[in-house]
Structure 1
Amino acid sequence: MKSTLQNDNFLRACLRQPVDHVPVWLMRQAGRYLPEYRATRARAGDFLTLCTTPELACEVTLQPIDRFPLDAAILFSDILTIPYVMGLGLQFQEGEGPVFERPLRDAADIDALSQPDPETELRFVMDAVRLIRRELNGRVPLIGFAGSPWTLACYMIEGRGSRDFIHVKGLLYSDPALLHHLLRHLAVSVTQYLNAQIAAGAQAVMIFDTWGGSLSTPAYAEFSLAYMSEIIAGLKREAEGRQVPILLFTKGGGNWLEAMAASGADVLGLDWTTELSIARQRLGDGIALQGNMDPIALYGSASGVAAEAERVLASHGPGPGHIFNLGHGITPQTPIGNVATLVESVHNWRPT
């Protein structure tokens, strides 16, 4: 699997090493805003088939890399692959997103959960990682990822996305021991899953804590961050003679930067509500930062996109340890030309 990287700026930035330019990749960079993705998705027939067929997952992973000079590829998959193979009846419904036919409702449901083996039940993900690495052939690094235990639990207990998280928060405040039991189980699964991705060829891994920002400060520390820290402590940190960076992203986590930085992660991803200059002041230069342009800024004019990109870059300022990204995933109607403008603006930026 070992190959010489033609562009290692992303990995270097993760480790706060000097780079040729600020590296850029985009959350959901393989997605519906690309016509080639929509064609592959139509050929697959449904989203789960797209995720679970390694050849198709490889195809869509490479599409944005072929179109834009991005500095990293990210595995095309979904944060819900672990609960999917646990047998909760995951479906993706048009206009509604993920829905579980059999959400967790009591201790018996939680006790019945399996501990999926990454190279058997989740083999389709590992095969995709191996195939993508082969097809990338060292062009850019490959990022693997997983959902955080708290985020997975939100979907598994609610049965779908939620605004209020009544069921999972109700469990948190009525039977915290049972919720901890579930989160410990998921932490083991996520650790094994990410380590398997690293063994298969992922050169960095990211933990997506999509719903951590829905928690109070004490609850975030106890029910989300503690388990992500446990996962990070259990991850392989070297492969193919290189350090494997760990990225952590909590949407809405700007209040907890110092605690997040103490998790052991190499990189903190920030959403657009946290100013990079303030984050850098609070954290110093001991951890890399990723982000954090508002994805909807891509709906502006080309000059407006370039100006906002330059503002974000200037907010972080010179010095190592910045990976440019959006503050959350790119949205389906994003103009493709503006993505090209964004990548070019980032690559051309030099601090004054």
Structure 2
Amino acid sequence: MTAPLRNDTFLRACLRQATDHTPVWLMRQAGRYLPEYRATRARAGSFMGLATNVDYATEVTLQPLERFPLDAAILFSDILTVPDAMGLGLSFAEGEGPRFASPVRDEAAVAALSVPDLDKLRYVFDAVTSIRRALDGRVPLIGFSGSPWTLACYMVEGGGSDDYRRVKTLMYSRPDLMHRILAVNAEAVTGYLNAQIEAGAQAVMVFDSWGGVLADGAFQAFSLAYTARVLSGLKRSHDGQTIPRIVFTKGGGLWLQEMGQLDCEVLGLDWTVNLGRAREAVGAHKALQGNLDPTVLFAAPEQVRAEARRVLDSFGRPHQGTGQGPTHIFNLGHGINQHTPADNVVALVDEVHAYSRQQRG
């Protein structure tokens, strides 16, 4: 794991240092839009068979890097590994998404909840180490977890949801129980991410995928506060290297100024936010990540390129020279769609690299 990084553009941008181009990686870049991923999953037999096998997880993490000159790799795993390790019984039915056999919906279930033994997640940490070695310094590796609130949504609902009725009802009717769930989750996520860092992750990301479903006030109390608790417990460095921390809240544009106070290096933004206005709201002390609408990738390649330029222009001229200043990491505003044509990803990555170099003049 000691191979020096040959491309540290992503890490430099996370730390608000000048780069010669805007780095780009894509949420869910290792996934179902790639035929080689589908072939590997078929060999694994199931999603969890893929995620819990170190060799398979390593293989699919590296697959997009063989196709596209991306500036970072992200661990192939799932945000629900943590509640699965709590004993909730995670399964993935083909075409139906995740399900928990034992959702957390009453006082007894909440009382029984505890931070899992991290040994139950050893397969994740072993995968991090394996991927880091396989990368051999090509690009940095990002580790990740769901936020305490987002994990709670799945744990209470028992899976995905259209209206979040069960979790919001619990939150409003028994806030004491919800705070208990979130406190356990925050401690678990902190330990989980720190173990990923120790295993070799060079940056970590907290996915608050469902923070945006909350009302103002509830977001601050039940999502933001617990994300902040996680961040406060994370390792700031490992093996002499700073470990950037990224927070992404889908639907979080309303709370940019408050999120700008989080103790992290990077804020991820969805496609509803103008990057220039976000830059003004957050200030110069955070790098920004995002935020192309993933559906753009279904347009013709020339339109994909035009939209990439528009996103880069919306951020404006990035920092150049010595010291620190405003920096941008190009990404999608959410995960890449499974039906995305891979050729359009080629056009996107190529345009981000080429146009961002022109921007620097």
Q: Residues of 2 paired with 1:341 and 1:115: CA distance?
A: 44
Tell me the SS of whatever aligns to 1:7.
coil
Deviations, residues 168-208 of structure 1 (Å, cap 9, x unaligned)? 11111111011101100010000000000000000000000
Partners of 1:59 and 1:184 lie apart in 2 by 35
Given that 2:22 and 2:330 are in contact with CA atoms closer than 8 Å, whether structure 1 keeps it comes out as yes
Aligned-pair identity (%): 61
Distance 1:140 1:134 in 2: 11
Q: What amino acid maps onto 2:238 in structure 1?
A: A
1:307 match = 306
Find the aligned partners of 2:44 and 2:183 in 1 and give their Cα distance: 35
Q: Number of matched residues?
A: 351
Partner Cα separation in structure 2 for residue 114 and residue 201 of structure 1: 26
TM-score by length of 2: 0.96
Aligned partners of 1:197 and 1:98: how far apart in 2?
23
TM-score by length of 1: 0.98
Aligned to 1:58: 58
* Letter paired with 1:130: T
- Could you list the per-position Cα deviations for residues 270-318 of structure 1 after superposition, in whole angstroms to 9, with x for gaps in the alignment? 0000010110121222110000000000000010000000000010011
Are 2:82 and 1:82 aligned? yes
Residue type matched to 1:22 in 2? T
Q: Which residue identity does 1:342 align to in structure 2?
A: L
Contact kept? 1:290, 1:324, Cα under 8 Å: yes
Contact 2:290 2:330 in 1 (8 A): yes
The aligned counterpart of 1:180 is 179
Distance in 2, matches of 1:25 and 1:240, equals 24
Does the CA-based 8 Å contact 2:16-2:286 persist in structure 1?
yes
Partner of 1:162: 161
CA contact (8 A) 1:2 1:240 kept: no
Q: Does 1:288 align with 2:294?
A: no
Q: Deviations over 1:7-57 (max 9, x none)?
A: 000000001101121000000000111111010010000001111111110
1:340 to 2:346 alignment: yes
Whether contact under 8 Å (1:195, 1:235) holds in the other structure is yes
Which runs of 4 or more aligned residues in structure 1 lie more than 3 Å from their structure 2 counterparts after TM superposition? none
Q: Is the 8 A contact 2:114 2:184 kept in 1?
A: no
Q: Tell me the SS of whatever aligns to 1:291.
A: strand
In 2: Cα distance, 1:236 partner to 1:269 partner: 20
**Aligned residue for 2:69?**
69
1:328 aligns with 2:334: yes
**Given that residues 40 and 60 in structure 2 are in contact (C-alpha distance below 8 angstroms), is that contact kept between their aligned partners in structure 1?**
yes
Question: How far apart are residue 96 of structure 1 and its match?
Answer: 1.6
Q: 2:17 maps to which residue?
A: 17
Shift of the alpha carbon at 1:66? 1.3
Query: Residue type matched to 2:187 in 1?
Result: V
Shift of 1:140: 0.2
Q: 1:122 aligns to what SS in structure 2?
A: helix
- Equivalent residue for 2:139? 140
Long gaps (5+) in structure 1: none
Q: How does 1:211-222 map to 2 (within 5 A)?
A: 211-222=210-221
Measure how far apart 1:89 and its partner are: 1.5
Match of residue 42 from structure 1: 42
CA–CA separation in structure 1 for the residues paired with 2:25 and 2:318? 19
TM-aligned CA deviation for residue 95 of structure 1: 2.0
Q: Following the alignment from structure 1 to structure 2, what is the Cα–Cα distance between the partners of residues 177 and 109?
A: 13
Contact (CA 8 Å) 2:309, 2:351: kept in 1 or not?
Answer: yes
Q: Give me the whole-angstrom Cα distance separating, in 1, the residues matched to 2:187 and 2:107.
A: 18
Distance 1:164 1:324 in 2: 30
C-alpha RMSD of matched pairs (Å): 0.9
Q: What CA distance in whole angstroms lies between the structure 2 residues aligned with 1:53 and 1:94?
A: 19
Conserved? CA contact 2:246–2:267, under 8 Å: yes
Distance (Å, rounded) in 1 between the aligned partners of 2:211 and 2:2: 35
**Distance in 1, Cα, partners of 2:243 & 2:255:** 24
2:208 match: 209
Are the counterparts in 1 of residues 85 and 117 from structure 2 also a CA contact under 8 Å? no
SS in 1 for 2:288: strand
Cα deviations across residues 102-124 of structure 1 (Å, max 9, x unaligned)?
Answer: 11121211221232232x11000
Looking at structure 1, the residues matched to 101 and 195 of structure 2 have their Cα atoms a distance apart, in angstroms, of 28
Mapped partners of 2:13, 2:71: distance in 1 = 11
Q: Secondary structure of 1:217's partner?
A: coil
SS of structure 1 residue aligned to 2:124: helix
Which letter maps to 1:107? E
| C-alpha distance in 2 between matches for 1:178 and 1:84 | 20
